[in-house]
Amino acid sequence: MDVDFYADCRPRHLVYFSFCTCCHVFYIGKTNRFFKECMLKHLMDIAYAKETSALAKHVQAEGAQHVFNFMALEVMQPTIRGGDMSNKVEEMEQNGFYCCKLTGFQD
């Protein structure tokens, strides 16, 4: 997978890829919040063992040595005309999932 842009923790409206450093498990998510807030939410869910978080469930099941790294896959830039950013980001998430599935990122 080629990533042809730079994204720090400040973008909003993005699709991200999170992968376990110990095994080949990955998670593709979307957020309309700042990327930093999204990552912190996942880390807090892991720290507090939230049952609603797929990443937290993985760490609980496999052990604390399983750590996730995050990478922005695509950032949606708002246009002058605006539009429903949530729907656009959701569509990007689905496209990102199929891209990763086709390029062999799954287990």
* pLDDT tens figures, 53-100: 899 999 999 999 999 999 888 887 776 676 677 777 777 777 655 455
2-9's contacts with Cβ under 8 Å and 24+ in sequence apart are: 3/71, 3/72, 3/73, 5/72, 5/75, 7/35, 7/72, 7/75, 8/35, 9/34, 9/35, 9/36, 9/39
61: region left, alpha or beta (phi > 0 left; psi from -120 to 50 alpha): alpha
Mean pLDDT, range 37-55, rounded to an integer = 92
The residue ranking higher by pLDDT, 27 or 91, is: 27
Q: Does this model's pTM top 0.85? A: no
Neighbours of 74 (CB within 10 A): 22
| pLDDT reading at 104 higher than 90 | no
